A = this chain, B = another copy of it.
Amino acid sequence: MPDQSTSQATPQHPSPAAAARGHGAAGDATAGEGISRRRLLGTAGATGLVLGAAGGAVGHAAAPSAAVPLTSLGSDRAMFHGKHQPGITDPLQARGHLVAFDLVAGAGRKEAAALLRRWSAAAERLMAGEAAPHDDTDVARDAGPSSLTITLGFGHGFFDRTGLGKQRPAALDPLPDFSSDRLDKARSDGDLWVQIGANDALVAFHALRTLQKEAGSAARVRWQMNGFNRSPGATAHPMTTRNLMGQIDGTRNPKPADADFDRRVFVPDDGEPAWMAGGSYVVVRRIRMLLDDWEKLPRAEQEAVIGRRKSDGAPLSGGGETTEMDLERTGKDGRVVVPLNAHARITRPDQNGGAAMLRRPFSYHDGFDADGVPDAGLLFVCWQADPLRGFVPVQRKLDRGDALSPYIRHEASGLFAVPGGAAQGEYVGQRLLEG
């Protein structure tokens, strides 16, 4: 990627925010190209910048003496404006916060519109590595944007409270009950939803705190969760992460290069309701992993539960991580190699009428219970154009016979409508709130 390497080697600006703006242009990929381009940018970017800092081991332009060079992790930047909101196709970040707010009694459409305007203004600034609009706390000072993304969504309750009930999408109808659900209502649902991701935990906390304060008297935190993923550079594994069960996660995710990616993930331009064009629906599940039970299983049994090898994610039917799973292949005993209730078999789109969703999770670990059992698992976050053709059919099938079920527990749930990205000068949700 020589062109991107070059774009990263321009002289650095004296302030992190300015440096971030400089790099931002290179990161201004369309959503469809976002994952691969930004990911490569992260690698190539490190080269130019670190070489500059180390004294010019190759012939890049020397940095100004006043420069504060940022390595790529800090200077990588996602774009706030665009057809889609950030935080959907962007690479997983090392740190994440999920938070739901409820509108306070008395706050209606006008207050909600002002809130979304404030949040959008704050998100745009923070994602550029700039200070918060009001009374910045300095917690993110000196750091670059660190791939910060801020994503805003609406829950079922938002529409009646704001007098916009007629605009509520049918896709926001409550999810069906699943027999294995053990949901804590206090940590489920909510009028508004915010997803924050960044490769620096202080940058992420700063964004969370800023949005909480910008909520002002209009909305209050309903629930909030912290998550994490691999840090950039901790592994060279190209596309996927591991979860706390040790499995590679995300192998079968739809790819932006897929012909049907946009159709699966985003509401089309002529979709319904009109204000959701370019938007997506997100299902959030706090899935606790019963690690004490899981880790007692021998590796071969763990692999039979999932249908893939732990080491490299390859299907038990053979090949490598990305090899197509052979559902019919039988072993010497005449039984299918990938068990019929294996998690990876059940969740395959071709086993679910083509249902597919873009999973973009964070792991979580909230310490240990009094008896030393880890309160840990997955903040499952999945994106789709229509939950009834994404999460719901897959989860229905899992609910009936997933070999993984004894080792997990769905403890919280949310479904939110995430409108398309804001155009320049627009705020997120403006087409709904001023439509």
Decide if B245 touches A365 in the complex (CB within 8 Å): no
Binary contact readout A356-399 vs B (1 if CB under 8 angstroms, 0 otherwise): 00000001011110001010100000000000000000000000
Decide if B47 touches A57 in the complex (CB within 8 Å): yes
Query: Which residues of chain B come closer than 8 Å to A141, judged between CB atoms?
Result: 242, 246, 310-311
Separation of A132 and B180 alpha carbons in the complex (Å): 33
A332 interface hit (Cβ, 8 Å): no
Q: Do A142 and B46 form a contact, CB below 8 Å, given A54-B1, A231-B94?
A: no
- Which listed residue, B43, B220, B224, touches A367 by the CB 8 Å rule? B224
Give residues 285-330 of A contacting B (CB, 8 Å): 291, 295, 310-311
Kindly state the interface size class of chain A when it binds its partner. Answer: 35 or more
Query: Which residues of chain B come closer than 8 Å to A243, judged between CB atoms?
Result: 139
Query: Which residues of chain B come closer than 8 Å to A143, judged between CB atoms?
Result: 230, 234-235
- Stretch with Cβ within 8 A of B (4 or more), from A69-77, A275-283, A410-418: A69-77
A214 interface hit (Cβ, 8 Å): no
Decide if B234 touches A203 in the complex (CB within 8 Å): yes
Q: Do A201 and B245 form a contact, CB below 8 Å, given A1-B54, A236-B69?
A: no
Separation of A46 and B72 alpha carbons in the complex (Å): 10
Decide if B137 touches A246 in the complex (CB within 8 Å): yes
A212 interface hit (Cβ, 8 Å): yes
Smallest beta-carbon distance A47→chain B, Å: 5
A251 interface hit (Cβ, 8 Å): no
A106 interface hit (Cβ, 8 Å): no
A202 interface hit (Cβ, 8 Å): yes
Smallest beta-carbon distance A206→chain B, Å: 9
Query: Which residues of chain B come closer than 8 Å to A70, judged between CB atoms?
Result: 233-236
- Which listed residue, B69, B71, B230, touches A202 by the CB 8 Å rule? B230
Decide if B367 touches A242 in the complex (CB within 8 Å): no
Query: Which residues of chain B come closer than 8 Å to A53, judged between CB atoms?
Result: 43, 236
Smallest beta-carbon distance A276→chain B, Å: 29
Give residues 151-190 of A contacting B (CB, 8 Å): none
Query: Which residues of chain B come closer than 8 Å to A69, judged between CB atoms?
Result: 236
Decide if B311 touches A138 in the complex (CB within 8 Å): yes
A225 interface hit (Cβ, 8 Å): yes
Give residues 231-288 of A contacting B (CB, 8 Å): 231-237, 241-247
Q: Do A234 and B54 form a contact, CB below 8 Å, given A94-B201, A365-B226?
A: no
Separation of A135 and B146 alpha carbons in the complex (Å): 35
Separation of A203 and B363 alpha carbons in the complex (Å): 12
Decide if B235 touches A16 in the complex (CB within 8 Å): yes
A95 interface hit (Cβ, 8 Å): yes
Separation of A376 and B232 alpha carbons in the complex (Å): 25
Decide if B54 touches A43 in the complex (CB within 8 Å): yes
A51 interface hit (Cβ, 8 Å): yes
A5 interface hit (Cβ, 8 Å): yes
Query: Which residues of chain B come closer than 8 Å to A311, judged between CB atoms?
Result: 138, 141
Decide if B144 touches A234 in the complex (CB within 8 Å): yes
- Which listed residue, B231, B235, B372, touches A221 by the CB 8 Å rule? B372
Decide if B139 touches A242 in the complex (CB within 8 Å): yes
A50 interface hit (Cβ, 8 Å): yes
Query: Which residues of chain B come closer than 8 Å to A105, judged between CB atoms?
Result: none
Closest to A46 in B: B50
Closest to A145 in B: B234
Residues of A in contact with B (beta carbons under 8 Å apart)? 1, 5, 16, 43-44, 46-47, 50-51, 53-54, 57-58, 68-74, 94-95, 135, 137-139, 141-144, 146, 199-203, 205, 209, 212-213, 220-221, 224-226, 228-237, 241-247, 291, 295, 310-311, 363, 365-368, 372, 374, 376
List 19 extra interface pairs beyond A5-B57, A73-B231, CB under 8 A: A43-B71, A50-B50, A68-B236, A70-B235, A74-B231, A74-B236, A95-B201, A138-B247, A141-B242, A146-B234, A201-B228, A202-B242, A202-B363, A209-B291, A209-B374, A213-B295, A226-B366, A226-B367, A233-B233
